[in-house]
Amino acid sequence: MDNIKVLVVDDDTNICELLRLYLEKEGFSVISANDGETALSVFKSEEPDMVLLDIMLPKLDGWQVCREIRKFSETPIIMLSAKGETFDKVLGLELGADDYVTKPFDTKEIVARIKSVLRRTNAGTVNEAEDTIKEVNYDKLQINLTNYVLKVDGKQIDTPPKELELIYHLASHPNKVFTRDQLLDEVWGFEYYVDSRTVDVHIKRLREKLKGVSDKWELRTVWSVGYKFEVKE
């Protein structure tokens, strides 16, 4: 994990220091900020590869910081919070966060989450020995998992890595129905500690991007079961 720069944002300096010591031990480079405004300033000047972002912050809260970062960057964000309610998790995901960790957390879990997110976001650029391009194409839709590019009607659409992996997985198996648990296992992976609502949030965001694009395919809900990418004859 050399040269991977992590921005830790928390108003508790003890937590920042704890994470810095542990992450540096794991080979990460660490910078920190203790309020939302400083976090945005540091993010723009330092251009980190990953953000650990607390929700309860002075000046700008974590949700506002996440929203601002997503206006110009797809850098992975893991939200940190003492709140464990489903509402908080879902809101963070809807704003573009890649994962959510509830305090108190185990430092080993934080490292595992960071590595998991980085594996996904770096896919296609790290340890890619094979020449096979992972891409599926449909009417007015191109999903390239090698370069993490989504094109809708010829235009590239900014898409978080997990959304792109989800639509690629569904579109790679046209007309096959997947349960939420299957999608969590096959797209998120075993190291993820999330509930099935996470899938619903990502499907909702994908539908907003794909609405009305073509009448030849559809991202469909199969009630009481899950989802499928339906290709119409």
pLDDT in tens, 119-163: 766 643 444 434 467 899 999 999 998 788 899 999 999 888 888
pLDDT tens digit string along 59-90?
A: 999 989 999 999 889 899 998 887 655 556 66
Q: Which class is 5-121 in CATH?
A: alpha beta
Q: For residues 117 and 99, is the Cβ–Cβ distance under 8 A?
A: yes
- Write the CA distances from 119 to 108, 124, 188, integer angstroms: 17, 10, 11
Q: What is the pTM of this model?
A: 0.57
User: What integer pLDDT is reported at residue 182 of this predicted model?
Assistant: 87
Q: Domain 135-231, what fold?
A: Arc Repressor Mutant, subunit A (1.10.10)
User: What integer pLDDT is reported at residue 129 of this predicted model?
Assistant: 39
3-state DSSP assignment of residue 1: coil
pLDDT tens digit string along 185-199?
A: 788 764 455 567 888
CATH 1.10.10.10 residue ranges of the chain are: 135-231
Residue 183 CB partners (closer than 8 Å, separation 6+):
166, 169, 170, 199, 226, 227
CATH 3.40.50.2300 residue ranges of the chain are: 5-121
Q: For residues 180 and 199, is the Cβ–Cβ distance under 8 A?
A: yes
Q: For residues 82 and 56, is the Cβ–Cβ distance under 8 A?
A: yes
Mean of pLDDT over the chain? 85
Closest by CA to 74, choosing from 141, 121, 120, 36, is 121
> Looking at residue 93, what DSSP letter applies?
H
Q: For residues 49 and 75, is the Cβ–Cβ distance under 8 A?
A: yes
For tokens 């607390």, name the residue: 54
The 10 Å Cβ neighbour count of residue 216 is 13
Most confident of 30-39, 103-112, 141-150: 30-39
Neighbour-count burial for 11-34, b at 16+ CB within 10 Å, e otherwise? eeeebbeebbeebeebebbbbbbb
